[in-house]
Structure 1
Amino acid sequence: MVASNLTTSDPSTFILMGIPGLEAAHIWISIPFCGCYLIGLLGNFLVLFVVVKEKTLHQPMYLLLCMLASTDIATSSSVVPKALGIFWFNWKGITLAGCLTQTFFLNTVVVTESAVLVAMAFDRYIAICNPLRYTIILSNARIAKLGLMGFIRAVLFILPMPLLLSRLPFCDNHIIPQTYCENMAVAKLSCGDITVVRLHGLVMMVVTMGCDLMLIALSYGLIIKAVLRISSKEAHLKAFNTCTAHLCVMLLYCAPSLFSAMTHRFGQGIAPHVHIILANVYLLVPPMLNPIIYGVKTKELRDKMVQYIWRRRLCPSL
């Protein structure tokens, strides 16, 4: 009834329903949401802090890790606080401006993270296939420029999305069966023609994620080709360990996001609550696991994090 009143009395307000069909379990669902969010924040801020504090980590690889940590923090923070507000306090209302802002910010960060993953694949390719020229080809300044270019690309690709959505006429039904303002979920509430919005979303997905996945696959194809030429099993193992963390992060990022995007367009037979939960998984789980994966698989970063935590426990005043 509250949702119905809001949609009819205030046409500029949308209602985020959380996870329809599981309203009775919202409090329980909020526990893993909140836990994943807090663990992700703690882990990513720890990575940022340790890399900034330790001068020996001021290298291109760790600058890329800082970029990844920053995008992870921004991704989860753009969704989880509002979702917890829905689960805990039934704060379901969101203005059209707020909805479009969330859509723009979230998608910009996701596309930026995709560019960071491409840069990380390129970094691993140079480190393994051309190690003697690594410091010449990749410097901190060049990595910073790549990150800036990835962000600018994301803004240019995503900016038309909220502009197109803002021009759509919306029907009386302003209920969004989601925990956040996903662009296609908002577009489906329109009484007008959303063909342009659909085309923009599809083109954006193909051009950004499709091209990025091709570049990552190309990088790892060249890495595998170079590794296979080496007869030493020890060298094979070292190269594999160097790439394992990035491959795990890439799979965590790509699989759920592609599934969510394709489900909105072609997955009419999938239960709504399943799609909504999976759409949140790719925004919650990778930011939580990324610092754990890199903390475990990257020896230098792991050692520095352990040393810093141990020093803090022994000398709290430091």
Structure 2
Amino acid sequence: MFSSKTTDFIFTSETTPAVSTNLKQSVDMVLPLVGIADAVNVTDSPNSKTRLSSLLVAAGIKELGLDVILQLTGRDRNRIAIESEILGALSLGINKVLCLTGDKPSEGGPQVVNEFDSAGIMGLLNVMSNGTLSDGTEIKEPLPIYPGAADDLYFQKENPQAIDFLKRKISNGTKFIQTQYCFDEDICKFYSDLLIANGKTDGLKVLIGMGPLKSAKQALWMRENLWGVNISDAIISQLDASKDPKKEGLMICQELISKLIDLPGIDGVHLMGPSCESDAADIIKLFR
């Protein structure tokens, strides 16, 4: 599913399309990651804000020779829209799909659809992978689909029942997991133990989410404004005290990745953040 460039440890990153009709502008954002990352996520109008079509940008990135993970939310789509989007992705050779419920819009924002939550989308994709649409219509020339899921390590830590929802995603065909931000080695170890205790196999790839933080101000804003982002006071203080916070942010990622490489049940990292493509490439190069 993932073809690691030089090691068994997987590195993915992400990019967010622009609010623009200039396709090249959005595609060129990932140039630093070409030949470096194992794959790049293309986000799907994050924070319920309209962006250039993620599928269109993913197709352009695919032409650069970089593998793509298409993010797909149920927020804006019913089953027809989801199935149509997946058929389009498969026809372009894009078969990795991160299934998300989607960020809730602010009050007075666009109407939410959510016929399916993230686990429901995975179940739908699993049906399509077996050669039919949800109504039983046969798909001509079906292709395999690799659905992925998001998870929150801190939520798993604080809510023992949360593992049941993750198990539902896995039973619906999840092939990989990309977690929300985590810069805490102990939480990563807890998650590793949790996965193994619940029968995690080599067929399920688990990538810990993190990202190159550029300043204490940015880290604090992300913690306060983005869902699922947990950045400790200690990390923020470390960035604030540094004379070169951007370099410090890269070092924080490097140190944690070094500890995760040999952690059982953890298969890689997912590097994300605003305009992080170049910094993510620099981090990956430290290990390759």
State the TM-score, normalizing by the size of structure 2.
Answer: 0.23
Choose between structure 1 and 2 for higher RCO, CA contacts under 8 A separated by at least 6 residues: 1
Greater C-alpha radius of gyration:
1
Q: Name the structure with the higher helix share.
A: 1
Q: Name the structure with the higher strand share.
A: 2
State the TM-score, normalizing by the size of structure 1.
Answer: 0.22
